Copies of this chain bind each other. A is one copy, B any other.
């Protein structure tokens, strides 16, 4: 994952409300509409919708029109890829100085 994409995802996750939204989405067996999420949070519906858009734009969640409501669900593979990318980034970060300064290598 390129830095541009990785940092976009990091930013999209960089808000406590959005971390919570993902929890709410994942905790439900059935898929979830904006109102369901708004009921769990003390925020206006428009604010929640905006947060959903950030997650949507980052490709972390998907929207599916179902009747009068829009259902959201987490893109599991995208989240997994994010986890992998973070680990890879940190791993590479750690590996570079390992060649120069062996004492750092053991920290990771």
| B-binding residues in A (CB < 8 A) | 3-4, 6-8, 10-16, 18-20, 22-23, 26-29, 74, 76-77, 79-80, 82-83, 86-87, 89-90, 92-94, 96-97, 100-101, 104, 107-108
Contact = CB atoms under 8 A, between A and B. Distances in A.
22 contacts: A3-B19, A6-B19, A7-B13, A7-B14, A7-B18, A7-B19, A8-B14, A10-B10, A10-B11, A12-B14, A23-B92, A23-B96, A26-B96, A26-B97, A28-B100, A29-B97, A74-B93, A76-B107, A76-B108, A82-B90, A83-B87, A87-B87
Main secondary structure of the interface of A (DSSP, over half): helix
Contacts of A8: 14
A97 B7 contact: no
A12 B14 CA distance: 8
Contacts of A4: 16
Given A29-B100, A93-B23, A97-B29, A7 B15 contact: yes
